[in-house]
Chains A and B, each alone.
Chain A
Amino acid sequence: MGIEGIGARVARKEDKRFITGGGRYVDDMVVPGMKHAAFVRSPHAHADIKKIDVKKAEGMPGVIGVLTGKQLKADGIGNLICGWMIHSKDGTPMKMGAWSPLAVDRVRYVGDAVVIVVADTKGEARDAAEAVEITYKERKAVIDAVEALKGSAPQLHPEAEGNLIFDWDIGNPPETEAAFKAAAHVVKMDIVNNRLVPNAMEPRAALGHYDKAEDHYTCWTTSQNPHVARLVMSAFYNVAPENKLRVIAPDVGGGFGSKIFIYPEEIICLWASKRTGVPVKWVGDRTESFLTDAHGRDHHTHAEMAFDKDHRILGLKVETKANLGAYMSLFSSSVPTYLYATLLSGQYNIPAIHANVKAIYTNTAPVDAYRGAGRPEATFVMERMMETSARQLGVSPAELRRKNFVTQFPHQTPVIMCYDAGDYAASLDAAMKEADYAGFAKRKAAAAKKGLLRGIGMSCYIEACGIAPSAAVGSLGAGVGLWESAEVRVNAVGTVEVLTGSHSHGQGHETTFAQLVNERFGLPLDQISIVHGDTDKVQMGMGTYGSRSGAVGMSAIVKALDKVEAKAKKIAAHLLEADEGDIVIENGALKVAGTDKNVPWFQMALASYTAHNLPAGMEPGLKETAFYDPTNFTFPAGCYICEVEIDPDTGKTEIVQFVAADDFGNIINPMIVEGQVHGGIAQGVGQALLEGAHYDAESGQLLTASFMDYTMPRADDLPSFQVSTSNTPCPGNPLGMKGCGEAGAIGSPPAVINAITDAIGNNDLAMPATPQTVWAAIRAATKH
């Protein structure tokens, strides 16, 4: 390892521009003649649109255009789609309701876009938006997935009878039934996974520019995957063919999944630009983020686990009702199915599993992937079950887990996944040692003397990253392939540009990807640039989500680097009159191994472009492209231990210790990995203690629509995390990487709730475990 190579704690190259205000976000983009948009959104959760009168708005100062869904339809713009087909257990395809970018005759959630106003200034656009007169006839709304399945519930979409989108099964039902019949103990639980609002720091934004002279569109957008945005807008929404549409995702201020999806606004801004003849910019405000960014989680689950007399798990039954909101967002169907139920084996040997998932429409914001996407929900089910089982069986939570750990690899679970490598006991041991698990009783007694309730809880999570291979996900219903592309350009003076289909919106790719090139060619980091986020520069890519950019994106770069290295060595061998096999790359030069004969890297690069003296038949230049399609998912895993102290008078929880022992495979930059874990745990603790999206059951209004009511985790809510890794390299990709972006958010919620329920002696506790909730649970426990 060099000081800038793989494994080095290199400070992030991109941070200088971010922390000095030099970042360039969509809102920083200015196009000559650009105007500003505001949306008129539904104030109702469910209503028919009887009449839209735009006359008054059109006459307002500065107004250029007031456009409706009827005009959008007349111009042939398509409905939004969900790109992952799920079939119900009876074989029927999922029932997708129509989602028009601008609602035409019905609105289905508060925030549904109805009209776009384009004006000279943002203020004028907003003023005119208020002057649009829409007559609604209100309908009854339903916001809860369980309620929405009842016959008396209002119907959202004619396509989905009973609001049921699909009724999907995975696993082996007869074997599971047999396992339960043979069981010595059965543990049952109802588990709710609370709905979350992603709250990226930068709200969503879009700038659409139609160039009439070129008949060409450009879209700047806050996207985690600009190429997929272009593909979908071209292939399904009929905005423009791909060669006439450039999508740019510049600096993006956080995504957490919420910026994977194609939303109505970017489509409408592009269309409105052509309609009005001016570039149209929309920048969402925080209220629009709360109302319309795809939310996360929102599962109601019943789970049962069967054990034999020696406490070995025999089987697992899970029934989940997943709230998908008012419309099916781009990948919404995959989250409660292939990203959730396939992880229900956890870290354990479970011979038989049967899971059923019902996806349900409600009058709420669409729900889709949010940091972890399905895997936090699966982990919460598994690790609450394991802790609860240990308590009911009267055994140590650590030993019950250890007894059931998968120890032989590869391990085929009953729910599709084949785990390739791991050492779950190693993570458990490391976490217990770091947490001084053995000394807990003493600390609990000391806390009791201060009048505080102390508890400890653990979570042994496993997740799946780098969703792949493409053929496999295709067979499961994915509408896209999940490979990645890379292009490595060596310039004539030897500097390197890496073009990647991954997109960095906080992950630090400009640093870690450059470290990989440094490791291979010995070039200093300032001679290596990472280019991403522009469909005109990078030919194609699948973007960044699901912790895939290391395992998949960097693997593609490795393949391209291999090709560059092979050609560079050929050139060097020719220049040095040596055998190609004897050339090694060291300290920025290509050398003949065991001699002092060498050609500096830049001379080799120059030679490739002057082409004065190349091997016979070799093409000039040094630029290589590669596509990498993984052979399997990767399986990061680990053990988290949380210790809490609770003030019984107020119910306030303080996390006094949080230990994370992860297995991420090989690591490029430990500092960036630690940052990812810290951020993930902060979001996981946020879910467990603080965050929860609440809609009013009658009106369907979002009650937590600002930071005044939606609690984001703050620094003083969190302890100093004790993080470490004990890694088993992933055998499935050339760098042995597994992914680390989501682990913190996946592993932490059950650890926190297990700790609180341990402290208060009441296992019936909903997330978020706010002071009020914990206080009420303590009172309920003492009443028993």
Chain B
Amino acid sequence: MYSVNYHRASSIADAAKLLKTGDAKLLSGGMTLIPAMKTRLAAPSDLVDISRIAALAGITVSGKTVTIGGATTHHDVATNAKLAKACPALTHLAGHIGDPHVRHKGTIGGSIANNDPAADYPAAMLALDATIITNKRKVQAAKFFTGLFETALKDGEIVTGVSFTAPAKAGYAKFPNPASRYAMTGVFVAKGKDGVRVAVTGAGEDGVFRSTEIEAALAKKFEPAAVEGIKLSAGNMMGDLHASPEYRANLVVVMAKRAVTAANA
């Protein structure tokens, strides 16, 4: 790691101000940023830690509306009783990110802003049609995640939270990369009043995406059998040492089936 100046922001406004220092980066758990800095792949001059800002943490469930603060840890998402009732698929997802250390440090805002193509949350946000709330505006998930590690966030913009309407049914199934245990393919299915949405993480060459073929099949019948036999093209899938595009195309269908089973359980 190179030497770096650490700042603990006291408020969102304070964070926005500090973010103008040198080549500053936000720190919200640091589960990706710190390892990248240790191996000198990332070299910010300043770190602005927003994970201690009280206003950024916490979960509220009001009727069908769920709001989660950006600095809420995966552990807090995984163990929130109200959320477990409103959207158990999301607590399940959060409870299976990384390991206990990661879940107690990593935050939903940090994960979303980083948009790692193998992260779990982007799939949930896209399938739940969530709204990403920043210190400047609100952005729909579909417009927020723009590519590998790319988002619609502009300079100085901070993810302060997310909100979504709890779906009637939802499920998440992931096949972890054997080494990193990130999602090699993760599928989040959600059935809401506007229909079925299926979002896939870990598999697409441009990051998280919606599978319209699987959505169409599930719209007819929200059963695992509806997905059976779907052959997805490997053309847009990511390929690496651990999984070829063909293998990932297969995993998307298999995980979608399992996500539907979980949603119907």
Contacts and interface: CB of A to CB of B under 8 A. Distances in A.
B241 interface: yes
B242 A649 contact: no
Contacts of B241: 694, 703-704, 709
A100 to B, nearest CB: 27
B164 interface: no
Contact of B175 (A650, A704, A710, A776): A650
A704 B177 CA distance: 13
Interface in B180-216: 180
Interface string B227-238: 000000000000
B3 interface: yes
B242 A770 contact: yes
Contacts of B219: none
A711 interface: yes
B62 interface: no
Contacts, number: 43
A580 interface: no
Contacts of B89: none
Contact of A123 (B1, B180, B251): B1
A330 B175 CA distance: 42
Most chain B CB within a 10 A radius of its CB, from A650, A690, A706, A707: A650
Contact of B179 (A123, A652, A711, A776): A711
B124 to A, nearest CB: 21
A708 interface: yes
Interface in B220-265: 241-244, 247, 250-251, 254
Given A123-B3, A649-B254, A709-B241, A776 B247 contact: yes
A772 B242 contact: yes
A706 B182 CA distance: 14
A123 B175 contact: no
Contact of B180 (A287, A708, A772): A708
Chain A: interface size category = 20 to 34
A199 to B, nearest CB: 12
A694 B254 CA distance: 28
A123 B1 CA distance: 7
A704 B243 CA distance: 14
B178 to A, nearest CB: 5
Interface in A662-710: 690, 694, 703-704, 706-710
A127 interface: yes
Nearest to B181: A714
A775 interface: yes
B1 A772 contact: no
Given A770-B242, A772-B244, A775-B247, A707 B178 contact: no
A772 B254 CA distance: 14
Task: Tell me if A's interface is mostly helix, strand, loop or mixed.
Answer: loop
Interface in B32-75: 39-40
A127 B2 contact: yes
A177 to B, nearest CB: 42
A771 interface: yes
B6 to A, nearest CB: 15
Interface in B1-35: 1-3
B1 A287 contact: no
Contact of B178 (A649, A703, A770, A776): A770
Interface string B137-160: 000000000000000000000000
Interface in A644-658: 649-652
Contacts of A650: 175, 251, 254
A254 B233 CA distance: 46
Contacts of A711: 178-179
Most chain A CB within a 10 A radius of its CB, from B39, B178, B242: B178
A502 to B, nearest CB: 34
A708 B243 contact: no
Contacts of B250: 649, 775
B3 A709 contact: no
A775 B242 CA distance: 12
B37 to A, nearest CB: 12
B251 A707 contact: no
Nearest to A709: B179
A126 B244 CA distance: 37
Contacts of B243: 772
Contacts of B2: 123, 127
A711 B179 CA distance: 4
Interface in A529-573: none
Nearest to A716: B181
10 contacts: A123-B1, A127-B2, A287-B39, A649-B254, A706-B39, A707-B179, A708-B179, A771-B178, A772-B247, A776-B247
Given A690-B178, A776-B247, 9 more contacts: A123-B2, A651-B247, A694-B241, A708-B180, A711-B178, A770-B242, A771-B178, A772-B247, A775-B247
Interface of A: 123, 126-127, 287, 649-652, 690, 694, 703-704, 706-712, 770-772, 775-776
